Chains A and B, each alone.
Chain A
Amino acid sequence: MALRIINPGLMTTIQDLGRYGYAHLGVTPAGAADALALRVANLLLGNEENAAALEMTLLGATVEFQRAAIVVLTGAQVDCRLGSAKAPMWRAFPVLPGAVLKCGAITGGARAYLAVQGGFELKPVMGSVATLRSAHLGGVEGRALKAGDQLAVRHVDSSGVRGISRQAIAYLEPRRELRVTPGPQASWVGAEGLQTLQRGSYVVSGDSDRRGIRFQGEALTLPPKSQLITEGISLGAMQVPPDGQPIILFVDQQTTGGYPKVANVIAADLRHVAQLRPRDEVHFRVVSVEEAIGLLREQEEWIGKAFQIV
């Protein structure tokens, strides 16, 4: 064993990039909510992009390292201390055997990632170690981490650590304007409904989690007696239940559902959904699918250029 959880914080789970290829069996991918932050963490360590890390939510975890390791923190700003020193973010740093890394409040976003060089040694379930709590799959016994849990770290010989420039990090700043494309039932609320959505601000409600982010704002009006037969749900779909308050379905969502989906957050902005905190205020802006794919391409070009060997 190489890492022991002393205090799990508010909600800490093991996540990789998700469990794909099983939606037709009702298994949703799960995986890191802020997939870009996880990929960056792994690239900084010289790991495979898909290696698992700890996803910490709102309040970080305290962990003890039983072996020397190289670790990195990414995602939202998290106040972490290594002994008496403040731990850096977006930069790999070594820890000695016996070191305790104490992570406190997460600010400016909701989720931070703690990754180790080599990655955690965990048995994949259906091809992934991502934790899906609702189905008790992946991670450690399919649950959130608790005090006393021990995680093995895969041993690596080569260092492979890379750096990221300050300018490149600026790209990762959280956005409070989420871009969406019209969803399969956009016509149910019509152009007027999409205007309503873009006009005011929507506030993140407290009962949001990895399954979905609930919002409070100007209600969207659905046609009376509108009924949809159950269909597949895509990641980031904006579902509108009868009360008209939108819900963005997220990484732990169900694979199918019966509520209309009037919009869908663009792939490049899903990481900003991951960083929303209760009471955050957001705006929505409708863009075309072509524009959305362009923004996704931009993100991949950024990740291809952001790192230097150190």
Chain B
Amino acid sequence: MSEGIRVIDASDSSMLVVFGDEISRDLNRRVIRLFHDLLTNDSPKSAGGRIRNLHPAYASLLIDYDPLLLPATELRARIQELIGQSDIASSDGARQAIEIPVCYGGEQGPDLPDVAQHTGFSPEEVIARHSSIEYTVYFIGFSPGFPYMGGLPESLATPRLKTPRTSVPAGSVGIGGSQTGLYPMQWSGGWRLIGRTPMRMFDPEAKPPSRLQPGDLVKFTPITRESFDAMVAGG
């Protein structure tokens, strides 16, 4: 078994694989690797499956399974086997970042002035910095398609709103503390909104339903209000 990894019974039907206790790209990469191995080979798809659901997070993977179809000892052995393998073959490959067009500021990013004021940059500098980084989707949680992304420069960190908005439009891109992300669906939320993408990020009819997957690389590309409107109109 690989050092420092803990496999815990989170319940009688779920096992939590903990790789560490901090947020780091390295730990998350190991989480995503195990997640992919299980998703590809032990494909959870239905209520009647042996493995029913996988919940990757920053540094852990929760595996929801049916203990009557898949004995805990067998799952544990499978986890150990996969962790051992992926530690040997750990090539990530050269992955291409997914480009997400974003209309920054204005009606689409009402909190851009606040972020500028808090960080001491001009709004243009905030946009330039925010769109220059390649972010990693650590995992998707909170709501359908909502990516927890790593890579926001500390210089752009801005506290969340004191009172969350009751409705944030779908596609909104925001900063919450030292994280950045985007709201794939209309939802409530307390992040500072700096822009919006016209791209549909979550569509239950699409395969896969979420444009972003755990482990993806993401880059935001600034677009004008005119292109935003044109893309919204064009669907």
Contact = CB atoms under 8 A, between A and B. Distances in A.
A26 B11 contact: no
Nearest to A27: B144
Contacts of A127: 45-46
Interface in B122-164: 139-146, 148
Nearest to A125: B204
5 contacts: A20-B52, A183-B10, A232-B60, A236-B11, A296-B13
A25 B18 CA distance: 20
Contacts of B59: 229, 231
B210 to A, nearest CB: 4
Contacts, number: 165
A264 B9 CA distance: 10
B104 interface: no
Interface of A: 17-18, 20-27, 29, 31, 50, 125-127, 134-137, 181, 183-184, 229-237, 254-257, 261, 264-267, 289, 292-293, 296-297, 300
B68 A293 contact: yes
A134 B202 CA distance: 14
A230 B148 contact: yes
Contacts of B11: 181, 183, 234-237, 264-267, 289, 292
Contacts of A256: 55, 57, 139, 141-142, 148
B64 A23 contact: yes
Contacts of A232: 10, 14, 16, 55-57, 60-62, 141
Contacts of A293: 12, 67-68, 72
Contacts of A21: 43-46, 49, 52-53
Given A24-B140, A26-B146, A125-B205, 4 more contacts: A21-B53, A29-B47, A235-B11, A289-B72
B220 interface: no
Given A232-B57, A254-B141, A266 B12 contact: yes
Contacts of B57: 229-232, 256
A261 B142 CA distance: 16
A173 B32 CA distance: 43
Contact of A137 (B16, B62, B139, B204): B204
B8 interface: yes
Interface residues on B, range: 35 or more
B221 to A, nearest CB: 23
A81 B190 CA distance: 47
Nearest to B53: A23
A19 to B, nearest CB: 9
A29 B53 CA distance: 9
Contacts of A135: 143-144, 185
Contact of A20 (B35, B46, B58, B141): B46
B47 A31 contact: yes
Nearest to A23: B53
Those 8 A-B pairs whose CB atoms lie nearest each other, nearest first = A232-B62, A232-B55, A256-B141, A264-B11, A292-B12, A23-B53, A234-B14, A21-B45
Nearest to A138: B204
Contacts of A297: 68
A23 B210 contact: no
Contacts of A300: 68
B143 A134 contact: yes
Nearest to A180: B11
Given A21-B45, A289-B12, A233 B67 contact: no
B14 A26 contact: no
Contacts of A183: 10-11
B10 A230 contact: no
Contacts of B139: 24, 256
Contacts of B53: 20-24, 29
A254 B143 contact: yes
Contacts of A26: 140-146, 210
A166 B142 CA distance: 43
B54 interface: yes
